[in-house]
């Protein structure tokens, strides 16, 4: 149940009750909420505050949703950016954005910083291109030639590294920002720069899995609350028969079913509307149109 003064808190508006099918992850993340609600208590008790959390898992399974729920449950501000928003060729822009993000979060602590697709910002550096000995003069003047390795780095690689370094500096200096939780999310763990995974940067790595049949049913139930569903619809048959469907796809299914129901003049979503919506999301509306027509 949503707490009474929920809206007033001006947080994300999402709570753990909106998240389904990933109970084990939610359980682990509860501690962050306890911390955000009362950082001083952790301090007083001598408990090391949680630092950073890395959420890893396939797209559309609830990483962003669960991060928002942490802030929503604690009623604290949520600062969200995507890793790709930091990747700039203009020198210094990415790192300035990182500094600004952490500064805002610290001013308004307790708070949550969430960086989605963190792999875009923190991928292992591409192998630099070796250059012949005579080429680098100009490159050296531009500061993109590394004399010790005799490698030429392109400007984008260099900028990406500067940005990543800024993030590492912010994460390492987190003690000054007590009360701020940093959450990163990725579906390409293999691409992450090892520097980011070094102990002390993320103290928790949590896997957000694609839902199983029970998880899919729970997700359907959560989203069915937001639409008008006929009680005759058997959601469990959809949960069983749609293996591989993510939370995002299941949410989309109910939205699509609601649209079909409206188009057909139904007052609530019927089984036939659901079936049609499944077809549309599986093969696309055009093919369904041809088959039906
Ligand atoms: P990406 O990696 O593409 O950013 P993500 O894992 O962050 O994906 P979300 O953005 O959290 O996925 O999910 C998109 C939407 O799908 C959510 O806003 C929600 O409506 C629905 N959804 C996804 N997972 C769940 C879930 N476990 N429970 C309830 N709804 C979910």
Query: What percent of the chain has a predicted confidence (pLDDT) above 70?
Result: 78
pLDDT on residue 113: 94
pTM of the model: 0.84
Mean pLDDT within 30-36: 92
Q: Summarize the confidence of residues 95-118 as an average pLDDT.
A: 90
Handedness of CA 49, 38, 76, 223 (dihedral sign): positive
**233/273 Cα distance (integer angstroms):** 10
CA of 143 to the centre of ligand 1 (A): 42
- pLDDT higher than threshold 60 for residue 125: no
HEC string of 188-233 equals CHHHECHHHHCCCCCCEEEECCCCCHHHHHHHHHHHHCCCCECCCC
Q: Tell which one of 12, 22, 65 to mutate to probe ligand 1, the residue whose CB is within 8 A of the most ligand atoms.
A: 65
Rounded CA separation 6/19 (Å):
17
| Nearest residue (CA) to ligand 1, atom 2 | 59
Ligand 1 centroid to Cα of residue 248, in Å, is: 5
Higher per-residue confidence, 90 vs 208: 208
* Structure tokens, 32: 């962050």
pLDDT in tens, 75-85: 999 999 888 88
14-24, pLDDT tens digit by residue?
999 999 999 99
Residue 137's CB is within 10 A of a number of other CB atoms, namely: 9
Question: Ligand 1, closest atom to CA 211?
Answer: 27
pLDDT for the residue numbered 192 = 84
Spatial separation of the C-alpha atoms in residues 284 and 256, rounded to whole Å: 12
ipTM surpassing 0.95, yes or no?
yes
Ligand 1 atom closest to residue 55's alpha carbon, by position in its atom list: 6
Expressed in angstroms and rounded, the spacing between residue 218 Cα and the centre of ligand 1 is 13
Cα(58) to centroid(ligand 1), Å: 10
236 to each of 168, 239, 257, 269, 283, how far by Cα in Å?
Answer: 45, 5, 16, 15, 22
Higher-confidence residue of 97 and 127: namely 97
- 57 pLDDT exceeds 60? yes
Q: What is the C-alpha separation between 44 and 201, in angstroms, rounded?
A: 23
Mean pLDDT of 6-29: 83
> What is the distance in angstroms between the CA of the first residue and the CA of the last residue of the chain?
45
Count the Cβ atoms, other than its own, within 10 Å of residue 143. Answer: 11
Number of other CB atoms surrounding residue 284 within 10 Å: 10
Distance of CA 156 from the midpoint of ligand 1 (Å) = 31
Confidence of residue 290 (pLDDT cuts 50, 70, 90): very low
- Within 6 A (CB) of ligand 1 lie 19-22, 59-65, 116, 185, 187, 219, 222, 247-248, 251
Asked if the model's pLDDT at residue 157 lies above 60, the reply is: yes
**Percentage of the chain lying above the pLDDT 90 cut:** 50
Smallest CA-to-CA distance from 221 within 236, 241, 208 is with 236
Answer whether 29's CB lies under 8 Å from 53's CB.
yes
Average pLDDT (171-196) is: 83
Ligand 1 atom with the shortest distance to the CA of 21: 27
- Closest listed residue to residue 110, CA positions, set 204, 166, 43: 43
- Which whole number is the average pLDDT over 62-80? 94
pLDDT score, position 19: 95
**CA–CA gap between residue 54 and residue 169 (Å, rounded):** 17
CA of 255 to the centre of ligand 1 (A): 14
Residue whose CA is at the smallest distance from ligand 1 atom 9: 62
> Ligand 1 centre and the CA of 81: distance in Å?
16
Non-local (6+) Cβ contacts of 30 within 8 A are 16
**Rounded distance between C-alpha atoms, residue 261 and residue 92, angstroms:** 51
Tens digits of per-residue pLDDT, 213-258?
Answer: 999 999 999 999 999 999 999 999 999 999 999 999 999 999 999 9
Nearest atom (ligand 1) to Cα of 208: 6
- Our CA dihedral for 89, 197, 63, 278, rounded to 10 degrees, sits at 80
């Amino acid at each position: 149940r949503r707490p009474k003064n929920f809206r007033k808190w001006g947080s994300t508006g999402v709570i753990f009750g909106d998240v389904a099918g990933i109970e084990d992850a939610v359980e682990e993340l509860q501690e962050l909420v306890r911390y955000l609600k009362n950082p001083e208590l952790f301090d007083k008790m001598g408990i090391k505050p949680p630092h950073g959390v890395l959420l890893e898992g396939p797209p559309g399974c609830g990483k962003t949703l669960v991060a928002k729920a942490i802030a929503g449950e604690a009623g604290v501000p949520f600062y969200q950016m995507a890793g790709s928003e930091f990747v700039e060729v203009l020198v210094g822009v990415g790192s300035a954005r990182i500094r600004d993000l952490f500064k805002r979060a610290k001013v308004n602590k307790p708070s949550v910083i969430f960086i989605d697709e963190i792999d875009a910002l923190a991928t292992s550096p591409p192998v630099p291109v070796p250059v012949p000995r005579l080429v680098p003069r100009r490159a050296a003047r531009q500061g993109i030639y590394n004399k010790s390795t005799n490698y030429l780095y392109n400007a984008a690689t260099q900028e990406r590294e500067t940005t990543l370094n800024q993030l590492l500096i912010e994460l390492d200096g987190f003690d000054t920002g007590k009360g701020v939780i940093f959450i990163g999310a990725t579906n390409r763990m293999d691409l992450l720069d090892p520097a980011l995974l070094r102990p002390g940067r993320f103290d928790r790595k949590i896997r957000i899995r694609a839902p199983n049949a029970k998880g899919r049913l729970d997700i359907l139930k959560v989203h069915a609350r937001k639409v008008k569903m006929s009680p005759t619809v058997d959601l469990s048959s959809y949960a069983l028969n749609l293996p591989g469907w993510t939370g995002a796809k299941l949410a989309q299914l109910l939205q699509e079913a609601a649209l079909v129901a409206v188009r057909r003049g139904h007052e609530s979503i019927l089984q036939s509307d659901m079936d049609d919506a499944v077809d549309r999301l599986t093969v696309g509306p055009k093919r369904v149109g041809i088959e039906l027509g």
